[in-house]
Amino acid sequence: MARTRETPCYNIGTASRLTGIPVWTLRWIERHALIHPKRTGGNQRLFSENDLERLEAIRELMERRVNLEGIRIILTMRGRP
């Protein structure tokens, strides 16, 4: 099976290090349905390259103090529902 940008392969700790977003914030982002990481059989979150790009966009918007609904709207306008 070839690995693509959609292939979930990064656990939450690695995703946190790569994006600079704390683990608890990644959980908050998921809880508010801004991202939907895949899950393993043991319920471990796995993030893809595309997920990491989306998380970086979310981080930038959060740093600009955009509220939750604003982030949703902006991501949708950018073609990242």
Tell me whether residue 16 is in a domain: yes
Counting the structural domains of the chain, the total is 1
Tell me whether residue 4 is in a domain: no
β-pairing, 38-39 vs 45-46, is antiparallel
Tell me whether residue 37 is in a domain: yes
Tokens 């939907």 correspond to 36
Domain that holds residue 21: 12-77
Burial 24-39 (b: 16+ CB within 10 A, else e): ebbeebeeeebbebee
Per-residue pLDDT reduced to its tens digit, 11-51: 999 999 999 999 999 999 999 999 999 999 999 999 999 99
Per-residue pLDDT reduced to its tens digit, 41-77: 999 999 999 999 999 999 999 999 999 999 999 999 9
Tell me whether residue 6 is in a domain: no
Tell me whether residue 26 is in a domain: yes
Tell me whether residue 48 is in a domain: yes
What is the CATH classification number for the domain harbouring 55? 1.10.1660.10
**CA–CA dist 32, 1 (Å, integer):** 32
